[in-house]
Amino acid sequence: MNHLEDAWQARVQAVLRTLQPSLSPDQIPPVVAERPPRPDMGDLAFPMFTYAKLFRQSPPLIAKAVADKLVGPGRVVALGPYVNVHYARSEVIQEVLDSVRHSERAYGTSQRLAGQRIMLEFSSPNTNKPLHLGHLRNNTLGEAVSRLLKAAGAEVRKVNLVNDRGVHICKSMLAYQKFGQGSTPEQAGQKSDHFVGDFYVKFAQWAASDDTAEAQAQELLRLWEAQDPATRELWATMNRWAVEGILKTYERTGIHFDAIYYESQTYQLGKEEIARGLEKGVFSRRADGAVVVDLPWKNSPDDETNAQKVLLRADGTSIYLTQDIGTAISRHKDWPFDQLIYVVANEQDYHFKVLFYVLGLLGQTWAQNLFHLSYGMVNLPEGRMKSREGTVVDADNLITELRDGAIGEIQAKGREEDVDGLEATAEAIALGALHYYLLQATPTKDMIFHPEESLSFNGNTGPYLQYTGARLSSMLRKAQENPPRAEFRAECLTADEEWELVKLVADFPQVVERAALAKDPSSVAAFLYDVAKAFSRFYHDCPILTAEAEISASRLALSEAVLTVLKNGFELLNIPFLRSM
């Protein structure tokens, strides 16, 4: 469709020049192509308003003059101030369906970003708690963007930074020392990351009545950085518990990484870089001993809040920014990238603004290629979640609840015998519901997650898309049992519902490419919903298996192309495809 649109734009531009030969080509503004609001108005429309003053004619007269001279594969009409083009449908249909059949799983891919090495950091869990709903939005967004970038031809490396050190980790450790009594996740009968997370909540409860709790946690961090053996041993044990549990959640949700970095392995490099910057005079030491960087921006001339940033605390311990500096430098040495994308919530916008600035001060020329993919917060209708108060929505529990809800939906419809394993199908529906719901919103927007809405089999939901794919698959299986004795013929597809589907199928590669460049999977989600709705209209209005042989064969070929688009789109969004539901 892009090639067709470009070709018609060139033709219209050429005709406009012939209408005003006294003007040089650069004096005639470029023609703009639009898509008409109704199928009966054509496939492309070129408004002539821009040329009225220049040509000293009304737009309708210009449109008629252009339409009379315009020649190409299709039909051209002047409709008021517009030049409307109707494509030669059968030629387009043949080309589109041939392209889908030839490409199959590669349909929708391009080479737009070929040669680009792009690293993507996402998830970044803490080892003091299990993954929660906020992590799920991060993971879903990071995974989808990575798949989109690959589809656009980039070489992508997915990385994770596990926050396994810091005072927040020490809080869980301190609570375990006080309340754990040497127990283990196995003894408690808990998933290991949940076990650790309970002690983070216990610390907050204890700290509410003990003013020394925070100071004790800070002292435990000092002992950790001093390599105290007992502290390090407890830290290693609790981190192992947390990471083992988190990895199981990744596996359950289809999230995988090419490399996992740990802050405990990179924070020292960050401290060394800060020391190097201090020696060069890039940073300075305050009277209390903290190392700071002067920042070039303030909210107002009198505002000192944003004038400096601490890089090392007065006691010599590091902060998030310190280890992020070390991690970024380590990553570039490991895998020199053209771009590094950080998928992190918008509450960290200022953090990344400072990080990129400091890396530039340190002479890292690639700092200009760092990008913060900032996304909005996700909450439940009841309000914002808080980890330390234990009010977060646990990822594992949420998926299990969605799975159980899907089991109830399947049983209520009496379809247990129609699915390939009740629990496995329900799990796939739960993941489809979750991933689609989290991706349908533009990343920059805050969102409220409604579990019941996400599971609906009707409307703009993942299960509705999965059901469309399953219904399509079932129909194609039936067709294989008694195939029509005829071949596909593009000229048999004459209905508007068929043409609408063909145009959507043809648009898929462009939709994917644009989503990759924008780093925004929501446009792919919206597109797949449009495809599902268009197929539903086609399925309802155009008999497929019961039509005449040639029409049936042609509509089945179109249906196969639609199924390819749905499958490939599901893969991009990490939505499980189901052959039956």
- Does some domain include residue 115? no
Based on the fold, state whether residues 9 and 154 are members of the same structural domain.
Answer: no
- Specify the CATH number for the domain of residue 82: 3.30.1360.70
Query: According to the model, what pLDDT value does residue 380 have?
Result: 79
How far apart CA 304 and CA 295 sit, in angstroms, is 10
Query: According to the model, what pLDDT value does residue 372 have?
Result: 98
Based on the fold, state whether residues 209 and 334 are members of the same structural domain.
Answer: yes
Based on the fold, state whether residues 298 and 430 are members of the same structural domain.
Answer: no
Sequential DSSP letters for 202-262: HHHHHHTT-TTHHHHHHHHHHHHHTT-HHHHHHHHHHHHHHHHHHHHHHHHHT---SEEEE
Final residue in a domain of this structure, among 42, 60, 87: 87
Domain residue limits at 47: 2-87
Query: According to the model, what pLDDT value does residue 315 have?
Result: 84
Based on the fold, state whether residues 127 and 256 are members of the same structural domain.
Answer: yes
The number of residues making up the chain comes to 581
Provide the residue-wise pLDDT of the chain in tens; the chain has 581 residues.
Answer: 778 899 999 999 999 999 999 999 899 999 999 999 988 899 999 999 999 999 999 999 999 999 999 999 999 999 999 999 999 999 999 999 999 999 999 999 999 999 999 999 999 999 999 999 999 999 999 999 999 999 999 999 999 999 999 899 999 999 999 999 999 999 999 999 999 999 999 999 999 999 999 999 999 999 998 999 999 999 999 999 999 999 999 999 999 999 999 999 998 999 999 999 999 999 999 999 999 999 987 655 565 556 789 999 998 888 889 999 999 999 999 999 999 999 999 999 999 999 999 999 999 999 999 999 999 999 878 755 454 455 578 999 999 999 999 999 999 988 888 888 999 999 999 999 999 999 999 999 999 999 999 999 999 999 999 999 999 999 999 999 999 999 999 999 999 999 999 999 999 999 999 999 999 999 999 999 999 999 999 999 999 999 999 999 999 999 999 999 999 999 999 999 999 98
CB atoms within 10 A of CB 138: 23
Sequential DSSP letters for 143-197: HHHHHHHHHTT-EEEEEEEEB--SHHHHHHHHHHHHHTTT--HHHHTS-HHHHHH
Based on the fold, state whether residues 26 and 152 are members of the same structural domain.
Answer: no
Query: According to the model, what pLDDT value does residue 523 have?
Result: 98
- Does some domain include residue 108? no
- Specify the CATH number for the domain of residue 423: 1.10.730.10
Identify the DSSP state of 31: P
Query: According to the model, what pLDDT value does residue 387 have?
Result: 47
pTM recorded for the entire structure: 0.92
Note whether 449 and 425 are within 8 A (CB). Answer: no
Query: According to the model, what pLDDT value does residue 302 have?
Result: 60
Based on the fold, state whether residues 230 and 148 are members of the same structural domain.
Answer: yes
How far apart CA 398 and CA 93 sit, in angstroms, is 44
Residue with tokens 């000192």: 304
Ranges assigned E (strand) in 346-474? 370-375, 378-379, 447-448
Domain count, the chain: 3
User: Which two tokens mark 469?
Assistant: 């794919």
Ramachandran region of residue 276, left (φ > 0), alpha (ψ -120 to 50) or beta? alpha
Task: For strands 339-345 and 259-262, give the pairing.
Answer: unpaired
